[in-house]
Amino acid sequence: MNRANRALLLRLIGREVRSRFIGSATGWVWLILNPLLLLGVYGFVFGVIFQARVPPGLDMPFVAWLAVALWPWLMFSEGVLRGAQAIREHAALISKVALKRELLVIASVSAVFLLHLFGYVTVLTLIGFLADLTWLGMFRLSLALVGLYALALGLGLGLSAVQVFVRDLEQAMPTLFMFWFFLTPILYAPSLVPESLVDWLYWNPLTWVMGEIRAGILHGEPVPGVAAGLLLLGGLLTLWLGWRLFARLNPYFEDFL
């Protein structure tokens, strides 16, 4: 990416961030408050009503254990969904301005990750008062988030290209991602899943992401395992495939927008 495209990308990311708060005097507050409200709902339903508990060996409130994995999911799911909509949402800009269209997707996904990362750091700081976090595990956490970003960007690029031609995909994706959420061990530990389903659970790449994150800052295992390398490679492979699909379909966008 040359200097001009890098500068344009930074402007697009800034534009995406600002657009989230236009017309809202308390936009930055809601950036933290909305996920906290969602965390409160899940914590009450599963921690109080269904009496969910943290895995054995951890001494912390269920809501703290939940929050560590919930924010990465919010980054990933919103990043993919907004990235998938980026081309159609900017159809007017594409028809008027000559630019590398993949920058629109990269800006959408990157803005979501940056905003949620701000919230995640705030939440981890608050959790530090409720539970003992192993801050040496931040490197393992960061490596997992890099792999998660690559995975989200690859899916965002591929889905944004396909969605130009298959518009029904926009309606199906929120439901598919809700299903994916419950298939990922965010509200529960893999050890609580029936043995007949455990093997299937590990076909989900986000199972490994949540495992790496919790192992790093909750279980005091700061050194990344083999899974961390596989996650990063899988994310980069998804990014390459998404980029190739985007490049293949890109020349035909204007005929369908």
Residue-by-residue DSSP string for 211-249:
HHHHHHHTS---S--HHHHHHHHHHHHHHHHHHHHHHHH
Q: What is the model's pLDDT at position 102?
A: 92
Amino acid at 253: F
Helix axes 102-127, 138-165, angle to 10 degrees: 150
Strand positions, DSSP E, 141-201:
none
Is the Cβ–Cβ distance between 165 and 246 less than 8 Å?
no
Q: What is the model's pLDDT at position 182?
A: 92
Amino acid at 187: L
Among candidate residues 121, 125, 102, 101, the one with its CA nearest the CA of residue 113: 121
Q: Tell me: the pLDDT tens digits for 18-60?
A: 777 655 555 567 667 777 788 888 888 887 887 777 887 777 7
Max Cα–Cα distance, the chain, nearest Å: 59
Task: Evaluate the CA torsion angle 91, 245, 228, 56 in order and state its sign.
Answer: positive
How many domains does the structure of the chain reveal? 1
Q: What is the model's pLDDT at position 44?
A: 85
Q: What is the model's pLDDT at position 18?
A: 78
pLDDT tens sequence for the chain (257 residues): 677 778 888 888 888 887 776 555 555 676 677 777 888 888 888 878 877 778 877 777 888 888 899 999 999 999 999 999 999 888 877 777 777 889 999 999 999 999 889 888 888 887 777 677 777 788 899 999 999 999 999 999 999 999 999 988 989 999 999 999 999 999 888 877 888 888 888 899 999 999 999 888 888 787 887 888 999 999 999 999 999 999 999 988 887 76
Query: What is the C-alpha radius of gyration for the chain, rounded to an integer number of angstroms?
Result: 19
CA angle 58-60-65, nearest 5°? 85
Q: What is the model's pLDDT at position 193?
A: 82
Q: Which domain holds residue 109?
A: 3-256
DSSP 55: P
| 186-218 b/e (C-beta count within 10 Å ≥ 16 → b) | bbbbeeebeeeeeeeeeeebbbbbbbbbbbbbb
Is the Cβ–Cβ distance between 223 and 90 less than 8 Å?
no
CA angle 135-139-140, nearest 5°? 100
Q: What is the model's pLDDT at position 37?
A: 83
Q: What is the model's pLDDT at position 1?
A: 67
